[in-house]
Amino acid sequence: MEAFKVRKVGIVGVTFGEGVTIVEPVNLYGCVIGSGTFIGPFVEIQRDVRIGSRCKVQSHAFICDLVTIGDDCFIGHGVMFVNDTFARGGPARGDRSLWKSTSIGNHVSIGSNATILPVSICDHVVIGAGAVVTKAITVSGVYAGNPARKLRPL
């Protein structure tokens, strides 16, 4: 048995649209990145993630498996997506059948350090910095807080 494993940061099995910009170091694998999208440093985007065109993903964001992000979206610094709801009282420990998906519409901006649980967010939404989105957002507007609540129309 080996004492430890080292997995290198890198870009593996990614499908890129035209004109994508990436600032290394990043960890991108098995995902799809749309045309004209910017990916900042220290970002991880896992497999089965689709990011639309003309998006901007700022540094230190984590986008886990099963997330879909529409076109013209902004993902702020340190935004965390969650796909494991601890349905059995703890981590799924690799049981992907327990993971849930997240769908982000078009023209959605998510402020720094927000946490997005497995939900759907409609088009034309602003999520405030530090917000925790625990339920689907079906009406455009500005949302903030923990849990995130609608503050005003957009």
Tokens of 101: 């998906």
Residue 134 inside a domain? The answer is yes
Inter-CA distances, 40 with 14, 56, 75, 121, 136, Å = 16, 8, 10, 23, 27
CATH code, domain with 111: 2.160.10.10
Given a cut of 80, is residue 11 above it in pLDDT?
A: yes
pLDDT tens readout for residues 43-75: 999 999 999 999 999 999 999 999 999 999 999
Euclidean distance between CA atoms 144 and 152, whole angstroms: 10
Residue 2 lies in a domain: no
Which pLDDT tens digit goes with each residue over 74-87?
A: 999 999 999 999 98
| Residue 5 domain-assigned (yes or no) | no
Tokens, residue 112: 């720094």
153: Cα separation from own chain's centroid: 23
Report if pTM > 0.85. Answer: yes
Amino acid at residue number 130: G
* Cis preceding linkage at 118, omega within 30: no
